[in-house]
Amino acid sequence: MLVTIDPLEATRLHPNASRHIIRALEIYHKTGLPKSTLVTSKPVRYPLLMIGIERSIEETNQRIDIRVNDMIELGLIEEVQKLVSE
């Protein structure tokens, strides 16, 4: 459907990007115009620096285990049981 309505946007999006495809279709149905004609690129106003932290899978899993254990100790199970019973 998006290929027919907005071929430019359809080629820009991955076929599995359903949320973005749905949004492009919503924009068309609301405005009658393809998203690719409404969204314009603007020059970057300020320089951008992205910083990421890279961890090993072992460290990541260890941190997840610690976090989950902390959540359980703080009452996660009781909270979920309460939500389910409501």
In a domain, 78, yes or no: yes
Residue 48 covered by a domain: no
Q: How long, in residues, is the chain?
A: 86
47 within some domain:
no
- What is the C-alpha separation between 29 and 70, in angstroms, rounded? 47
pLDDT tens track for 8-54? 999 999 999 999 999 999 999 999 999 999 877 778 788 889 899 99
Of 12, 69, 66, the closest CA to residue 39 belongs to 12
Instruction: Tell me the residue type at 1.
Output: M
CA distance 9 to 69: 44
List the structure tokens of 85. 């019973």
**77: domain range?**
55-86
Residue 46 lies in a domain: no
User: What pLDDT does 39 receive?
Assistant: 76
- pTM of the entire structure? 0.48
Q: Pull the structure tokens for residue 10.
A: 């359809």
Query: Is residue 13 in a domain?
Result: yes
Number of domains in the chain: 2
pLDDT at site 19: 96
If asked whether residues 7 and 34 sit together in one domain, one would say yes
